[in-house]
Structures are given as C-alpha cells and as structure tokens.
Amino acid sequence: MTQPPEPGPDKAHWHYQRADAYRELAEGMLERSRTATEHAAVLADAAGALLYEAAKQCVNAVANLRGNDPQDNHAKIAVVRAIIAEGFTSYDLRGGARAAWELHIHADQGGLLPDRFADRFAMAADFVYEMQAIYRNIAAPG
C-alpha cells in the first residue's frame, strides 16, 4: 500500500493515477460480471463501489491542484460545486457525482435495479472521465 505525498501537485498526480487505475479496474470488473457464472452480482456491485472510489480520487486530484485537500464528503461536494460554478465543463458534474454516490450506496445496501445500475455506472464513469479531463486542463493549461 502506498502513502500519498504531502498536499500539492505530487499528491494531485497520485490521486489522478489512482482514479485512472480504479476506473480501469471497475470497468474490467463490470465486463467480467456480464460473463461470470458465479458471483456476477457481487462483481458488478464491487465494480460500482470501485468506480465511486475513482470519482473521489478525481475530486481529490483536482482539489489538490488548486491547493485544497478535502478530507470528507462535504468538502468534496464543495469542490465539485466550485468547478460547476466556474464553468469548466458543460457535462452534468452534479448528476455524475450523484450517480457515483448511488453506486456506493447500492454496493452497501442494494436497491438499484439492473437498468438503473447500468445507467448510474455509465454516468459515474463519464464523471470520472470528465474530472480527469479537468485535471489535465488545470495541470497543463493551454
């Protein structure tokens, strides 16, 4: 297990790399769940939980680049709201973040029907991709 660097650009990049790895693993797990003969639902739920973690890592990466180090979910929500207010993207960041949260709750408590789960997974994945693009634009403007 690796420990994050101190807050700043190195920590931001550390979070970015983790988000990318988590997203890739989550997408692979979801694909595997579609062909699994055993534990398909557990694989899908775990993929959703991992995608939620990827979303949090993206928020942390962008926040760290901007000199912030959000420690709890309320602080992470504030980061997303600030990005929305600044108009970095036309993508529905609020909806994507909400979708990631729903995946997290589903992994713990269930409740999402398969179609809704698929929709929320796609929205959360788009959120991660969009936050990664925002990170890259802030890290290397122009």
pLDDT single digits (tens) 79-126: 999 999 999 889 999 999 999 999 999 888 888 888 999 999 999 999
Provide the pLDDT for residue 8: 75
Is residue 104 a contact partner of residue 49, using CB atoms and an 8 Å limit? Answer: yes
Per-residue CA distances from 137 to 18, 49, 91 (Å): 18, 27, 15
Domains, the chain:
9-136 (1.20.120.330)
Say how far apart CA 94 and CA 5 lie, in whole Å: 28
pLDDT at 5 over 90: no
Q: Which of 1-5, 21-25, 137-141 ranks highest by mean pLDDT?
A: 21-25
User: In 10 A of CB 23, how many CB atoms?
Assistant: 23
Residue pLDDT, tens place only, 12-55? 999 999 999 999 999 999 999 999 888 999 999 999 999 999 99
